[in-house]
Structure 1
Amino acid sequence: MAAAGLDFGTSNTTLGVVSGGRADMVRLEGDEETLPSATFYHQDGSISVGRAAIAAYVGGEHGRLMRALKSVLGSALMEETTLVGRSRVKFRDVLKRYLAEVKKRGEAAAGAPLTHLVHGRPVHFVDGNAEADRLAETTLHAIARDLGFREVSFQYEPIAASLDYEQQLSREELALIADIGGGTSDFSIVRLGPERAKKAERASDVLANDGVRIGGTDFDRHLSLGRVMPLLGFRSKLARGEIDVPSVYYHDLATWSAINRLYESRVHRELVDLEKRAAAPRLIQRLMRVVDDERGHTLAIEVEAAKIAVAEQGAVAVPFDWLERGLSTHIDHAELVRHTGELAGRIGARVDACLAAAGVAASDIDAVFLTGGSTRLEHVRAAILAAVPEARVVTGNVFGSVGTGLAVEAARRYG
């Protein structure tokens, strides 16, 4: 029997296992410790997960890709089903099959059944809705028990990241932990240090937790709506009057967890009618081609890649020749900020709220520890650091700090 720390993320998942009191991260896919939170349902009913799932879809295999699985927790989507082949599958079962595969790979690495689990969770699954937040955690707890975990407990993801950071400290300090992931942005203010790490109970070291349901997938959505969806008719007009074409198709197409809604047969019929009524029917034809060929995730993957390229290089050209010869868009840092700057501002505002909840001044923070893939976005980092300008900046393992900390916590609780 063994314990584990699970960071089930919107974009990626990691798993740490504890054996003999030692916590180690599992290579979940080849040599990679991260497993993209993606599932591909093949036509024969089998599934692939992670990079293999994305590769099957990108390679043109017929089936159903699902990404950003965690984002359905606490939302109305959790009660819906999605069409897979000729059958409808509950989103709860999609999550369960994915996490079952993660557990299976963890047990293969540990050489023993995984029976005890520390499950990571954001500070808020859903903003301003305590009941939905409770339901999201309850759902994850039930799935974990169904998968054979006898003991299941939870830890806030930024607290887990702080435990990873604490391992490198030689003196005590007050730290702001910023975990900006694919689905949420979470903050904790924690007293850390070598002596504090030895304590069995750490509740008094945590001064405040706060968060907001904004993450990398939201930046993808806003960037897609701003730069890509207009190529498919978003905000274009109907032929009669000044009314825009319905926006619901574009919002679903720009949202990872909602893309598969467009593959229902009724949507095709609606788009055929919309093309007849549109002032720019050629744009609607592009939209129809994406929907009829089930290439919505192709668009989302390309927008996500463009966002990352802009963060790393400053600008990128995004070709869509697969949709129409010569079709493309250009995105630079200014465009990224124009379409997503409001999101970065809302993330930064949560730092002030966290400081107020902790009862400390910005100048009291010794260090800010940054983790999560979205901390690579320059304007997101700037929004966070502007709130604590005197703090030392430490960049953690972008995708691994939370998982490492959860494994450390699993060793403490169950080792």
Structure 2
Amino acid sequence: MAQAIGIDFGTSNSAAAYLVDGRPRMIPMGPGQMTMPTTFFFDQETRRTLIGEPANQALLDGVEGRFMRALKRVLGTSLMHEKRQILHERVTFVDIIGRFLNQIKTRAEAETGLTFDRVLSGRPVVFHGQDDPREAQAEQDLRACYLAAGFTHVDFMPEPQAAAIASGALDQSGGIGLIVDVGGGTSDFSLFRSGANGVEILANHGVRIGGTDFDRAINIDRVMPLLGKGSVLRKVMGDGTSPTPNAIFNDLATWEKIPFVYTPQNTRMVAEMVRLAQEPEKLSRLATVLEDELGHDLAFATERGKIAANGGQDDPRIMLDMIQLGLSAPLTPQDLDDSLSRHGDQLSEGAQVTLGMAGLRADQVGQVIYVGGSSLMTMVSDRMRALFPDAQHSFSEVFTAVADGLAIAANRG
């Protein structure tokens, strides 16, 4: 039987692996890069679609065009199948994601000299939520994307289960472990027991929060007030005031919604808000963001600020010079904790629900293994250490464990 490839299609980054002599080997996604940003840039001048790091660079270079990220979060929604005009053609998000997955397939085949028609794809334990009617549709949508990419056989495995397999392939201790997989869009938990016969999954659970939600919370709390969120508008007629509407700020802080805020309707609404604002300078910044299409620049700046604050950098700030020279938003570790506290509570609850599903106590878990770039947030490990104080906490394969486990599972006899 032909070999299958394992693909970890992520909200923020993606990776792929295959087996060599029974062990997983990552597919290089660039010089020294084992992962690829799950990003797209549609270059208005050259009419080309850029994917991954070139897409990020085009945005940073100020190239004229449209940038997209976090499309995994659109799976299962009506947006997936709506045709929209992008460059010279009308396409759906199935087409766009399919082209991204095809690039991974093409790179893998060029790297290995093999043909990969079969794929085992990672999937979050939940795309939207337990018992959400969009769950089945989300998996169908993702299957359609793989078929559009040129694969003929598509299977799925929960991402933390794949990470558990990768860990169990190296550790035959017989102990109980917990995978904490915090990605860009979802957070998943798998309790497993490893032994001589491989990995036994005891429970899987997931919640729809991830790194993009962390960014969104910080953006709304720390950046959007500088653009007028929470400020006051005079009434169009008569005395009195009203608060600025929250919807545009919420959309501007949400990765997957940013491309859709640049509409004539929003431009007119914000111009009227500037006219009525008691603090017009702030709303004028919002008008600049819409006019110059700076939403993704804001989101990346927020992400960089988050990483700086999490890493203990002195005087961490979200730098907003692209809007106004010298403008920045302080982001202390305490600010970070305040913005992410609610998400931390959800992660703690998710781990506890997983324990309950397996009928286990926290003190029976000997190892906590972190997977996904957002698991490197101190808030995540702090919450897990509080729940599992006696366990060993491991960060060794944060970015590659899911793809490794998928490659192993895809090629088992």
Pick the TM interval, shorter chain.
Answer: over 0.9
**C-alpha contact (below 8 Å) 1:214/1:343 kept by paired residues:** yes
Secondary structure at 2:261 match in 1: helix
Is 1:160 aligned to residue 162 of structure 2?
yes
CA distance in structure 2 between the aligned counterparts of 1:405 and 1:176, rounded to whole angstroms = 15
Alignment-mate amino acid for residue 247 of structure 1? N
Which shows bigger deviation, 140-149 or 64-73? 140-149
Query: Deviation at 1:42?
Result: 1.0
Corresponding residue for residue 209 of structure 1 = 204
Corresponding residue for residue 73 of structure 1 = 75
Corresponding residue for residue 126 of structure 2 = 124
Alignment-mate amino acid for residue 105 of structure 1? R
Corresponding residue for residue 53 of structure 1 = 55
Corresponding residue for residue 243 of structure 1 = 242
Q: After superposition, give the CA deviation of every residue in 1:249-282 in whole Å (9 maximum; x if it has no partner).
A: 1111101000011122222122222222222222
Query: Deviation at 1:175?
Result: 0.8
Unaligned 5+ runs, structure 2: none
**C-alpha contact (below 8 Å) 2:212/2:254 kept by paired residues:** yes
**C-alpha contact (below 8 Å) 1:2/1:110 kept by paired residues:** no
CA distance in structure 2 between the aligned counterparts of 1:361 and 1:404, rounded to whole angstroms = 29
Corresponding residue for residue 12 of structure 1 = 13
Query: Deviation at 1:139?
Result: 1.0
Alignment-mate amino acid for residue 71 of structure 1? R
Consecutive aligned runs of 4 or more in structure 1 exceeding 6 Å deviation: none
Q: After superposition, give the CA deviation of every residue in 1:47-75 in whole Å (9 maximum; x if it has no partner).
A: 11111100011101101110112111123
Which shows bigger deviation, 235-244 or 280-289? 235-244
CA distance in structure 2 between the aligned counterparts of 1:86 and 1:252, rounded to whole angstroms = 26
Is 1:94 aligned to residue 96 of structure 2?
yes
**C-alpha contact (below 8 Å) 2:24/2:407 kept by paired residues:** yes
**C-alpha contact (below 8 Å) 1:23/1:411 kept by paired residues:** no
**C-alpha contact (below 8 Å) 1:117/1:149 kept by paired residues:** yes
Q: After superposition, give the CA deviation of every residue in 1:337-371 in whole Å (9 maximum; x if it has no partner).
A: 11111101111111110001001111111111111
Is 1:138 aligned to residue 140 of structure 2?
yes
Corresponding residue for residue 36 of structure 2 = 35
Corresponding residue for residue 374 of structure 1 = 374
**C-alpha contact (below 8 Å) 1:5/1:406 kept by paired residues:** yes
CA distance in structure 2 between the aligned counterparts of 1:191 and 1:304, rounded to whole angstroms = 35
**C-alpha contact (below 8 Å) 1:366/1:391 kept by paired residues:** yes
Alignment-mate amino acid for residue 301 of structure 1? F
Query: Deviation at 1:82?
Result: 5.1
Secondary structure at 1:298 match in 2: helix
Structure 1 residues 379 and 36, CA, compared in 2 at 3 Å: closer, same or farther? same
Corresponding residue for residue 335 of structure 1 = 335
CA distance in structure 1 between the aligned counterparts of 2:147 and 2:88, rounded to whole angstroms = 29
Q: How does 1:216-255 map to 2 (within 5 A)?
A: 216-240=211-235, 241-255=240-254
CA distance in structure 1 between the aligned counterparts of 2:274 and 2:227, rounded to whole angstroms = 11
Structure 1 residues 81 and 277, CA, compared in 2 at 3 Å: closer, same or farther? farther
**C-alpha contact (below 8 Å) 1:72/1:78 kept by paired residues:** yes
Which shows bigger deviation, 297-306 or 23-32? 23-32
**C-alpha contact (below 8 Å) 1:2/1:19 kept by paired residues:** no
Corresponding residue for residue 258 of structure 1 = 257
Corresponding residue for residue 268 of structure 2 = 269
Structure 1 residues 170 and 85, CA, compared in 2 at 3 Å: closer, same or farther? closer
Q: After superposition, give the CA deviation of every residue in 1:305-329 in whole Å (9 maximum; x if it has no partner).
A: 1111111125512332221122111
Alignment-mate amino acid for residue 140 of structure 2? T
Corresponding residue for residue 397 of structure 2 = 397
Query: Deviation at 1:133?
Result: 0.9
Secondary structure at 1:182 match in 2: coil
Per the normalisation by structure 1, the TM-score is 0.93
Query: Deviation at 1:147?
Result: 2.2
Structure 1 residues 81 and 221, CA, compared in 2 at 3 Å: closer, same or farther? farther
CA distance in structure 2 between the aligned counterparts of 1:224 and 1:181, rounded to whole angstroms = 18
CA distance in structure 2 between the aligned counterparts of 1:129 and 1:289, rounded to whole angstroms = 41
**C-alpha contact (below 8 Å) 2:172/2:194 kept by paired residues:** no
**C-alpha contact (below 8 Å) 2:47/2:88 kept by paired residues:** no
CA distance in structure 2 between the aligned counterparts of 1:283 and 1:232, rounded to whole angstroms = 5
Query: Deviation at 1:76?
Result: 4.2
Structure 1 residues 152 and 79, CA, compared in 2 at 3 Å: closer, same or farther? closer
Secondary structure at 1:225 match in 2: helix
Alignment-mate amino acid for residue 348 of structure 1? S
Alignment-mate amino acid for residue 4 of structure 2? A
Query: Deviation at 1:150?
Result: 2.2
Count of residue pairs the alignment pairs up = 406
CA distance in structure 2 between the aligned counterparts of 1:146 and 1:86, rounded to whole angstroms = 19
CA distance in structure 1 between the aligned counterparts of 2:347 and 2:85, rounded to whole angstroms = 35
Structure 1 residues 38 and 244, CA, compared in 2 at 3 Å: closer, same or farther? same
